[in-house]
Amino acid sequence: MSDTTSVFPKRVRWEGDGTHRIPFLTYTSDEIYQRELERFFYRDHWCYVGLEAEIPNPGDYKRTVVGERSVIMVRDAEGAINVVENVCAHRGMRFCRERHGNRKDFVCPYHQWSYTLKGDLQGVPFRRGVKQDGQVHGGMPADFKTADHGLTKLKVATRGGVVFASFDHELESLEDYLGPVILGYFDRLFNGRKLRILGYNRQRIPGNWKLMQENIKDPYHPGLLHTWFVTFGLWRADNKSQLRMDDRHRHAAMISTRGTAGKAEQVTQVSSFKETMQLNDASFLDIVPEPWWGGPTAVMTTIFPSVILQQQVNSVSTRHIQPSGHGAFDFVWTHFGFDDDSEEMTQRRLRQANLFGPAGFVSADDGEVIEFSQQAFESKPFHRTLAELGGHEVENTEHMVTETLIRGMYRYWREVMEGESRGSSPACAGVDGANGSALCAAPGPGA
């Protein structure tokens, strides 16, 4: 098979074997994006779909996505959590339109095919035809079996009240997928306490989905871009810090302990530091240490490819990355607390949540710089970004003045994107996923 049919374009040129210079084309190519969906979202990876607390009762459901595929997370009558694809087995309609609700079963409005909350087909109108003038007309063939035509069921994993799903039923366990280091930070936040949903934010960001993974793997920018963080000392370059990755460098944790605002010379010389900035409402800085923190005041954990777990002082949330084409993604924030929180702590979490979300005192900056970056990428796709702070290597560090986590993510990205598709022949990657597109082996580094 010729290279012209490859989904991975030969014109992607990396400068050598490293990942410290990232081609703009990785953010602008539809071909690359489709390959990412197949290799990162539809197989070999666990994707975040929600929190168990969002569907506490039998029949409760939440419509969400894995990659670009619409799925439904639902609690059945026995209390089990199922995730099924929101695509009717008959004519392929996305039958569920509401984001949240409660149902005894799912019914496609097009032809009224109905399914159990486990995704099994249970009813087909006119399956046995229509009797007229003593004769039966129509109906499904005699060999039609409802058991063969249920909704597509995803593999499900839950831990600490968090729900992940995958179309790939051969996937390793969630615990093995995260690895022991990242699992430790996951369990620090989701430590078995019952969760309480506090609210949602959602926004459409006109940038490539990977830019948000990069943003939360970039400890360099918060102390420069975000005036709030620098001025009030929540996240600064001089904070006591650690950066940690899993063995394959796809997941990461940025760990920070709050310093004293306005004392370090290298911070006060940053243009975003505003010594005279004052709060009209001092309760935004009403920070109360919690025993489960174990020292750090902030831990931002990226689980590749789909979710960010946020703990910034008393504000905790999940941030779900939902790609929509190569140049946009929906970003959904689920703010939560714990069932044993006092009312005072709940209000504190809600106040501090104002730092984040589409109009957050901090996060509004991130959406804007991602949009402006994407605009530049589209204008000159032959160029590349630079991620060389801290060198060219990929390693854990005890400081924030580095882009090592970004280099690590793209080392993994190249490994998966340039490797052969699972089950392929050595010469060609065969058929990639459900869309049936052919994939030939990608060129080597620097091709």
User: What is the per-residue DSSP string for 375-437?
Assistant: HHHHH-TT-EEE--TT-S----BSSSS--HHHHHHHHHHHHHHSSPPTT--SSEEEEEGGGTE
Q: Which long-range contacts (CB under 8 A, 24 or more apart) does 275-284 make?
A: 275/231, 277/227, 277/231, 283/348, 283/351, 284/351, 284/352, 284/354, 284/355
Query: What is the reported pLDDT for 275?
Result: 66
Asked if 414 and 345 sit in the same domain, the reply is yes
Judge whether 134 lies within some domain. no
- CATH code of the domain in which 68 resides: 2.102.10.10
Question: How many structural domains are present in the chain?
Answer: 2
Tens of each residue's pLDDT in the chain, 447 residues: 333 334 455 568 899 889 999 999 999 999 999 999 999 999 999 999 999 999 999 999 999 999 999 999 999 999 999 999 999 999 999 999 999 999 999 999 999 999 999 999 999 999 999 988 888 899 999 999 999 999 999 999 999 999 999 999 999 999 999 999 999 999 999 999 999 999 999 999 999 999 999 999 998 877 777 676 667 666 566 778 999 999 999 999 999 987 654 444 444 445 555 667 777 787 877 889 999 999 999 999 999 999 999 999 999 999 999 999 999 999 999 999 999 999 999 999 999 998 887 877 777 788 999 999 999 999 999 999 999 999 999 999 999 899 999 999 999 999 999 987 664 433 333 333 333 333 333 333 333
Judge whether 211 lies within some domain. yes
Give CA separation, 113 vs 5, 48, 74, 101, 380, in Å: 39, 28, 18, 19, 49
Judge whether 222 lies within some domain. yes
Query: What is the reported pLDDT for 230?
Result: 67
The residue length of the chain stands at: 447
Residue 17 is given by DSSP the state S
Query: What is the reported pLDDT for 235?
Result: 58
Measured distance CA(327)–CA(421) in Å, rounded: 25
Measured distance CA(24)–CA(28) in Å, rounded: 7
Query: What is the reported pLDDT for 1?
Result: 35
Q: Which residues contact 23 (CB under 8 A, 6 or more apart)?
A: 12, 13, 14, 381, 383, 384
Measured distance CA(385)–CA(410) in Å, rounded: 12
Asked if 188 and 121 sit in the same domain, the reply is no
Measured distance CA(194)–CA(55) in Å, rounded: 13
Identify any residues that bridge with 202 across adjacent strands, giving them in sequence order. 332
Judge whether 404 lies within some domain. yes
Judge whether 79 lies within some domain. yes
Asked if 191 and 224 sit in the same domain, the reply is yes
- CATH code of the domain in which 316 resides: 3.90.380.10
Centroid of chain to Cα 241: 24
**Nearest by Cα to 165 from 63, 79, 254, 93:** 63
Instruction: Cis check for the bond before 141: say yes or no (omega within 30 of 0).
Output: no
Asked if 292 and 381 sit in the same domain, the reply is yes
Domain that holds residue 209: 178-260+287-418
Judge whether 90 lies within some domain. yes
Residue 109 sits at φ, ψ, to 5 deg, of -70, -20
Query: What is the reported pLDDT for 236?
Result: 61
Asked if 293 and 371 sit in the same domain, the reply is yes
Asked if 102 and 187 sit in the same domain, the reply is no
Asked if 292 and 408 sit in the same domain, the reply is yes
Kindly state the tokens that stand for 373. 């970056």
Measured distance CA(331)–CA(370) in Å, rounded: 12
Query: What is the reported pLDDT for 221?
Result: 79
Query: What is the reported pLDDT for 228?
Result: 67
pTM of the model: 0.89
Angle at 218 (CA atoms; ends 371, 255), nearest 5 degrees: 135
Judge whether 305 lies within some domain. yes
Residue 105 is given by DSSP the state S
Count of H-run helices and E-run strands, the chain? 10, 23
**Nearest by Cα to 185 from 301, 319, 317, 316:** 301
